[in-house]
Amino acid sequence: MSTTRSQGENELQRIIQEMEVHISDIRVQLAAAVKDTERIQKALEYQRHMVSVWDKKTDMAREAKREDLVQEAQEHTRRHAGYAREIEEELQQIQGTAARYRDQMNAFELKIEAAKVRIEVLWARRKRQQMQQSVEAPANRLAHSIDRFDQLMQRMEAEMEIDQELREPRRPEPAPEPDQAASRRLEALKTLKPLHPNNNTPEP
């Protein structure tokens, strides 16, 4: 029985290998996205830090009653706050996209795992069918041979029994034992004298 896979099974195996390559590419891209996310997160933290810095400068300018410096500091605050909002929006977009791709990758991996199992089940089913085809014919021939053996053995045993009976000498059958009453009547008849031929009197 052959253990090699069929052409269709080999093609399925190649498709699974292609899918695994695609999964590997997705992992690489997601790893790069994580690094980009870390860089963007640092940029966002910097802009938020600058907003805090210019807020403090605004307070210091108010304390110094420098309205011109207050306006300048507020302008810087607004600019960095705008940068922070833009970066935060992009960061959220990237994180959402990365999470979606991670979910898709997990789903793909589950499908690939299920596909591998289905290939093994298909291969096992084909092996079972091949086994049935290769074993069924010899098994039928074996059963037929066993039946022929049993029939021949029974016939030979019967012939030997008949031959044995014919070869054995017949034993004489024992005579039946006489009945006791019949024996007494026979003895009584033996004691009677024969009758005279001219009359019914017994001879002297």
Residue 110 contacts residue 3 (beta carbons within 8 Å)? no
The predicted-structure confidence for 112-166, as pLDDT tens digits, reads as follows 999 889 888 988 888 888 888 888 888 889 999 999 999 999 999 998 888 887 8
The predicted-structure confidence for 42-77, as pLDDT tens digits, reads as follows 999 999 999 999 999 999 999 999 999 999 999 999
Residue 87 contacts residue 44 (beta carbons within 8 Å)? yes
No. of helices (H) and no. of strands (E), the chain: 3, 0
Query: CA 15, 20, 25: angle at the middle one, nearest 5?
Result: 125
| pLDDT the model gives residue 4 | 66
Question: pTM of this prediction?
Answer: 0.51
| pLDDT the model gives residue 119 | 87
Question: Looking at domain 8-135, which of 1.10.287, 2.60.40, 3.40.50, 1.25.10 is its CATH number?
Answer: 1.10.287
21-27 average pLDDT score: 87
